[in-house]
Homo-oligomer: A and B are copies of this chain.
């Protein structure tokens, strides 16, 4: 059984708003064991909308529409579904009555177009909408299912997560598509793939890599009767991937690298401080985005100027004068200074040129020095990143967290 989703609205189509409902709907379908094979976005245009719905119904067993159920002349979805199903529209008297009462109780004059919301295709039943006037629809005709949901978030969410999810579970009669994400750092996408090539040819569970800035996510997905069975199928695949990737696999599902690092430190009763030049606080912000980070994160200094590097971290005139602010020596002095002044087990330092100025003190865009100070030792690294300012800063904080994790891991 497969599904398609059609999002309706000119504002969506022209990119004036981002479609966050369709991803939610795709996940709900997957949770019911129904694969989503295509999504489309269509404007408020009758011919194009009816055409897109007819095409989708030729390919898919289940079609979900989002948006276009409101009362204005732009809202075409209800009528378009009837047309695509070769069905007739009929008025639901109880719904008309409900609408009249709703507007009367609020002393709002009701325009006639409001009553369009009391109509439905004959093959449809209504989904109650406690948060708005337009009900949703579930149509079953000629072996096809069409589900229509309203666009406003406060109306879409309860219907999608409630009655629609339940309907889909009954429709499919059991069976789920369940995924797990394994997160990998310190290896490029093509290298990850090289190590797990055979697993990627499997059909169930499937394994698929996705590249993110500074890390790779491997999504493993099983089709099974229920979540417990899916997990039993996913476990050995995860074990094989762990064996192939070793310590580069740092977390599962929503565990970010910063959360993994905070967790390691907390388990060991150790702490971290930061010394940030180029990253300007972004490393501290990532570490403290983790709930409960105060058990391991102490604080740090943001030192954009040479004077700040000296006064807040004790970086000497000699180091700054001889090697400049973008150097391994300055990174090292920043890390050592932060570790001492903040009394932490470790301190991470970042200095570099994130651009866009072609050079800072003679150092090119993308050149970054990182340092990690621990008890009686300091490690430094030079990196050269490409990309825009945002990417360079992100990669630098990612590498800093990776260095710390490597040092702390048994």
Would you call A167 an interface residue if the criterion is a C-beta within 8 Å of the partner chain's C-beta atoms?
no
Q: Is the CB of B341 within 8 A of A312?
A: yes
Bound-state Cα–Cα, A297 to B41, Å? 41
Bound-state Cα–Cα, A189 to B75, Å? 12
Bound-state Cα–Cα, A210 to B12, Å? 11
Residues of chain A in range 320-356 having any CB-CB distance to chain B below 8 Å: 341-343, 355-356
| Partner pick for A72 among B190, B283, B387, CB 8 A cutoff | B190
- Give the residues in chain B near A287, CB-CB below 8 Å: 280-281
Per assembly, the copies of the chain total 2
Bound-state Cα–Cα, A72 to B355, Å? 30
Given A13-B39, A386-B131; A288-B280 close (CB under 8 Å): yes
Would you call A191 an interface residue if the criterion is a C-beta within 8 Å of the partner chain's C-beta atoms?
yes
- Give the residues in chain B near A384, CB-CB below 8 Å: 106
- Give the residues in chain B near A11, CB-CB below 8 Å: 208, 210, 219
- Chain B proximity of A393: nearest CB distance (Å): 8
Surface stretch bound by B, among A16-24, A140-148, A229-237, A368-376 = A16-24
Q: Is the CB of B36 within 8 A of A389?
A: no
Given A70-B211, A73-B200, A190-B113; A284-B302 close (CB under 8 Å): yes
Q: Is the CB of A301 within 8 A of B298?
A: no
Q: Is the CB of A43 within 8 A of B52?
A: no
Q: Is the CB of A291 within 8 A of B355?
A: yes
Chain A 3-30: CB-based contact to B (< 8 A → 1; otherwise 0) = 0000001111111111110111111001
- Chain B proximity of A29: nearest CB distance (Å): 9
Surface stretch bound by B, among A168-176, A242-250, A303-311, A401-409 = A303-311
Instruction: For A210, give the chain B residue with the smallest CB separation.
Output: B11
Please report the total number of A residues contacting B with Cβ < 8 Å: 107
| Partner pick for A14 among B26, B113, B390, CB 8 A cutoff | B26
Q: Is the CB of A41 within 8 A of B39?
A: yes
Bound-state Cα–Cα, A280 to B273, Å? 11
Given A40-B39, A282-B281, A284-B281; A111-B190 close (CB under 8 Å): yes
Q: Is the CB of A15 within 8 A of B10?
A: no
Bound-state Cα–Cα, A19 to B391, Å? 19
Bound-state Cα–Cα, A99 to B152, Å? 47
Given A301-B300, A302-B302, A304-B298; A10-B281 close (CB under 8 Å): no
Would you call A136 an interface residue if the criterion is a C-beta within 8 Å of the partner chain's C-beta atoms?
no
- Chain B proximity of A175: nearest CB distance (Å): 15
- Chain B proximity of A182: nearest CB distance (Å): 13
Would you call A38 an interface residue if the criterion is a C-beta within 8 Å of the partner chain's C-beta atoms?
yes
| Partner pick for A15 among B23, B37, B52, B300, CB 8 A cutoff | B23
Q: Is the CB of B291 within 8 A of A281?
A: no
Q: Is the CB of A208 within 8 A of B10?
A: yes
